[in-house]
Structure 1
Amino acid sequence: MTPTSDIAQSPQAPDSPFVLVASDLDRTLIYSTAALQLSMPDAEAPRLLCVEVYNSKPLSYLTETAAGLLTDLAGATVFVPTTTRTREQYHRIHLPGPAPHFAICANGGHLLVDGVSDPDWHRQVTGRLTDECASLAEVRAHLLAAADPAWVLKERVAEDLFAYLVVERDLLPEGWVKELGAWAATKGWTVSLQGRKIYAVPGPLTKSAAMREVARRTDAELTLAAGDSLLDADLLLDADLAWRPGHGELADTGWTAPHTTVLPETGVVAGEEILRRFIRAARRDRA
């Protein structure tokens, strides 16, 4: 029997929106085939639920156990999907459970309310970017000039907010991302390598700022978060309690914080464990 009823059995659960859960999606709760890391024997592998289709092909998964856990969690807390994905990319995902009232897209550039971007929030964010860091045009020009077409597969601009490259990781020169990051820091930007994607993101464009706004609107008394990449670090630091899996950019650099728990699990089973930790923390807060 899967442990999906920890919250659902509590009579207080439907009336407990004061717990806010802001979780990264890719490689934290949902996983592509390449990121699943199913290291167990085939006969012991968990059953998977596809939650995203792209170009008519299945793309992202979580385990069936995780699906049940997420359904219960989303019904008992303010669950906020929190992603660097664009709005279009986010809307391809169909998570189990009730549709989230809030979602954070474009690394905090868009705060969705019932699926629609809040224009006031977006206006506030773009104002900060104009005032506090170099322009997207300047950073994009440097990114294209510094990259080598031999290992760049695609170059994209996301929501007119940030840029990223899709690269052949095996051909990426050692130290190139670090050098790019050092240059970007002088411009008020951040660089993150996630799978085959190299992101260049303005420093003021953060998931944590959007999480704080949702917490303000919902009067949340406890904030929980999870993530695996450098672009999640501010989110984990700002939450009251946080978790990161044993894989990803943060794991590769050994990143941690006093209130962030480092999980040993990797791959899709880490997503299960993160959801269990969210549920336990939400239950303790109501005790």
Structure 2
Amino acid sequence: MSVLVASDLDRTLIYSAAALGLDMPDAEAPRLLCVEVYQGRPLSYLTETAAGLLAELARTSVFVPTTTRTVEQYRRVRLPGPAPRFAICANGGQLLVDGEPDPDWHTRVRTTLAAACAPLDEVRAHLRATADPAWLLKERAAEDLFAYLVVERELLPESYVKELAQWAAPRGWTVSLQGRKIYAVPEPLTKSAAVAEVTSRTGADEVLAAGDSLLDADLLLAADRAWRPGHGELADAGWTAPQLTVVEEKGVVAGESIVRALGERASVAGARAGARAGGEVIRAVSRGRD
């Protein structure tokens, strides 16, 4: 039996300086490892303990980074441990195999979106028309699949995200606020669909997942066991599910707790599988003697 671990990256496993949440005395803060550099500057971190745990997890399971980042943004991240065979980018729109996008998967996704959702151009036009330059920093499209705004959170009206979600829903789109970014994503564009594809290809028997935002909810629901941190959209909404474990910590130390929990569960599943396999071998030998 193989265990597949599908985890969101930003604010689940890795953290920007603004999201670290180091509210303990400086002398007690954990040692950090930088895993992403952008424009010559360090950008994302995890604790050194989490780095060791993640490297071991990547060696003992099918570890699949599962992110809303574009392929280009994902390639900036240097996670500890062996390079993942599979990675999911663009919220499920891109499936990387040995570091390269799978064109057949991407074509299947685009066909589904074209049949089920309003076009991206219509959504981007609405975003441009409704975003106020007083708080809008950037408007972008990702992989020609979804759109997002980068905003000044302090100036963003509380009603904007709710009103945008109400406009988007009848058009087959969903909205998520994560840090300084407001995402508008087609409803069929999901991490869980891409994880299901990887599960089918690998023959994994158990799927573990972790995430912090509303865009991770489908992934967590589809997993056999799931974890979320004590911060983020899901925490703010009090979101839960029968198979979900809530990690009470916040910030980068929550990421460490999540990696530890994933590793412990993967080890338990692997041990059980080994015991079953050993039992089957013994029974087969006994039948041969009979």
Q: Which residue of 1 aligns with 2:209?
A: 225
**Residue of structure 1 in register with 2:38 after alignment:** 54
User: Following TM superposition, by how much is the alpha carbon of 1:73 offset from its aligned partner in structure 2, in angstroms?
Assistant: 0.2
| Greater than 6 Å deviation, 4+ residue runs | none
Partner SS for 2:110: helix
| Mapped partners of 2:198, 2:24: distance in 1 | 39
1:199 to 159, 165, 183: 183
Deviates more, 1:275-284 or 1:24-33: 275-284
Corresponding residue of 2:243:
259
Aligned to 1:234: 218
In structure 2, the residue matched to 1:9 is none
Match of 1:272 among 256, 265, 283: 256
Shift in Å at residue 280 of structure 1? 1.3
Structure 2 counterpart SS, 1:237:
helix
Give the structure 2 partner of residue 6 of structure 1.
Answer: none
Letter in 2 for 1:75: R
User: Which whole-Å deviations, capped at 9, do the CAs of 1:218-244 have from their partners, x for residues lacking one?
Assistant: 000000000000000000000000000
Partner-residue secondary structure (3-state), 1:258? coil
Once the two structures are TM-superposed, the CA of residue 117 in structure 1 deviates from its matched residue by 0.3
- Superposed displacement of residue 146, structure 1: 1.1
Structure 2 counterpart of 1:35, from 19, 23, 27: 19
Q: Does 2:92 align with 1:108?
A: yes
Aligned-pair RMSD on alpha carbons?
0.7
The normalised TM-score by structure 1 is: 0.94
Question: For each residue in 1:64-109, what CA deviation from the matched residue of structure 2 results, as whole angstroms up to 9, or x when unmatched?
Answer: 0000000000000000000000000000000000000000000000
1:165 counterpart residue number: 149
Structure 1 unmatched runs, 5+: 1-15
Query: What are the ranges of 5 or more consecutive residues in structure 2 without an aligned counterpart?
Result: 273-290
Match of 2:162 among 147, 159, 178: 178
CA distance in 1, matches of 2:159, 2:247: 28
State TM-score, norm by structure 2: 0.93
Write the letter of the residue equivalent to 1:115. G
User: 1: CA distance between counterparts of 2:267 and 2:58?
Assistant: 13
Displacement after TM superposition at 1:263 (Å): 1.1
- Aligned equivalents of 2:247, 2:50: Cα separation in 1: 16
Whether 2:65 is the aligned partner of 1:77: answer: no
Match in the other structure for 1:45: 29
The alpha carbon displacement at 1:179 in A equals 0.8
**1:217 Cα offset (Å):** 0.2
For residues 90 and 36 of structure 1, the distance between their equivalents in structure 2, rounded to whole angstroms, comes to 19
User: Which structure has the greater CA radius of gyration?
Assistant: 2
Question: CA–CA distance in 2 between the matches of 1:184 and 1:142?
Answer: 10
String of CA shifts for 1:2-51, please: whole Å, max 9, x gaps. Answer: xxxxxxxxxxxxxx6x1000000000000000000011111011000000
Structure having the larger proportion of residues in helix: 2
Letter in 1 for 2:123: V
Greater shift, 139-148 or 24-33, is seen at 139-148
Distance 1:266 1:283 in 2: 25
